[in-house]
Amino acid sequence: MRLLWLCILVETCHFGYSTRSNCKQCDFAVELLHSAWEEKTTSTCIGDLAEFICTTFNIEDHFVCKGIAGEFKDEFTYVLSVIIIEPHQICGLLMKDCGTFIDPLSVSWNITIPSNQPSPIDKKTVFPGKPILRVLHLTDLHLDMLYTPGLEAKCKEPQCCRPQQNPNELGKSKVSQMAGPWGTVGNCDVPYWLLINMLEFVRKNHRDLDYILVTGDITSHADWDYTPTSHVAMIKNISETLKSMGCYMKKIYPGLRLISINNALGGDALNFFLYINQTDPDGTLTWLIKQLSMAEKEGDVVHILAHIPGGDGEALEGWAINYYKVVNRFQNIIVGQFFGHTHSEEFYITYDDPEDSSSRPTSVVYSAPSLTTYSDLQNL
């Protein structure tokens, strides 16, 4: 009966209609969710709802929807219990004119930035023959530890070239396109031995590297196949760093500091916990400002390292705007920003006025290409 009313809620809101009757049905369904919280049955309830919405709106196929809803239902439940207070809030999100909902994606806030900004210094031209640093930037490796050559590369799942768990795929006896030994362009991430081969090539042909940057997304795209046990095993060697926001500063050469920030914790729109509190929730930006202030005081320049560029669609707007302000404040000492996530080799320019590209440039953001061959995202 509980799932029936959740289905009514989704079907009622499917086309955004907001008749009085539909609004009442929506309110009733949300009240039912509140009752489920009180009965401590919400985790299953929310899991059912997430699976139903994911499948009904064809966000993914039912197998993937079921996997994601099952693994993350407790997280969904906790966040919803905090941000959804009244029925009209969620109904206002799902249907026009059916309530008032404050979009958690558009929350604006301001970080405190030191006001004693030095006068901007024009960047000096680096002429040929001057000393340079040779840096290898690796990002978005997306290793699939289950990659198996010879398996189906054109399956109906979001992730192929691996043993399929979907019952609809298990019965297939003929392979239309076999996964290659070194990877396959399509819905496939790359095997571990491709990374080893790449690193061996780098060691053989680029022995003069000064340092290496790695900007995240090492695991595969198979989010629905996530388990806490497997995830913890992958990150156990960096657990101490994660206790401190996943950020660190390293003086790699005299006068040059590398500052790495984990903006997935504070600025990733897919981090549902951020909808509870987006105002520098883990203190990363406050910590970054402190580090930049120290570098400025001591006359050092800085390279910033992170995963998601501030202008990316998955970056929360409030976090991105404040990060932009920090970059402009410390533009004299931030001489490079290095990101991943886009899977494309490109660069961006930040400006004194973010809304005016004719204003004075303040910094450069470099985005490295990916190793993965997934879909059309690769830039080998």
Which pLDDT score is estimated for 165? 72
Which pLDDT score is estimated for 126? 80
Which pLDDT score is estimated for 156? 79
Q: What DSSP string describes 185-216?
A: SBS--B-HHHHHHHHHHHHHH-TT--EEEE-S
Whether pLDDT at 380 is above 60: no
Residue 222 token pair: 């198979």
DSSP-derived letter for residue 374 is: B
pLDDT level of residue 341 (50, 70, 90 thresholds): confident
Q: Which of 94-103, 117-126, 250-259, 370-379 has the lowest mean pLDDT?
A: 94-103
Max mean pLDDT range (15-24, 296-305, 337-346): 296-305
Place of tokens 């030994």: 181
* pTM listed for this prediction: 0.73
Query: Per-residue pLDDT averaged across 329-340, rounded?
Result: 93
Which pLDDT score is estimated for 35? 66
Q: What is the mean pLDDT of the chain?
A: 78
Whether pLDDT at 328 is above 60: yes
Closest-CA residue to 211 (of 323, 344, 338): 338
Q: What DSSP string describes 33-69?
A: HHHHHHTT-HHHHHHHHHHHHHHHTTSS-HHHHHHHH
Whether pLDDT at 227 is above 80: no
Which pLDDT score is estimated for 317? 81
Angle, CA of 154, 157 and 159, to the nearest 5°: 80
pLDDT level of residue 281 (50, 70, 90 thresholds): confident
Query: Per-residue pLDDT averaged across 286-311, rounded?
Result: 93
Between 315 and 199, name the one with better pLDDT: 199
CA-atom Rg of the chain in angstroms: 24
Amino acid at 1: M
Between 6 and 138, name the one with better pLDDT: 138
The per-residue b/e assignment along 254-286, b for 16 or more CB within 10 angstroms, e otherwise, is: eebbbbbbbbbbbbbbebbebbeebebbbebbe
pLDDT level of residue 1 (50, 70, 90 thresholds): very low
pLDDT for 85-129, tens place per residue?
A: 565 556 665 555 666 655 555 668 889 999 889 998 887 788 888
Residue 257 token pair: 């500091």
pLDDT level of residue 172 (50, 70, 90 thresholds): low
Which pLDDT score is estimated for 132? 83
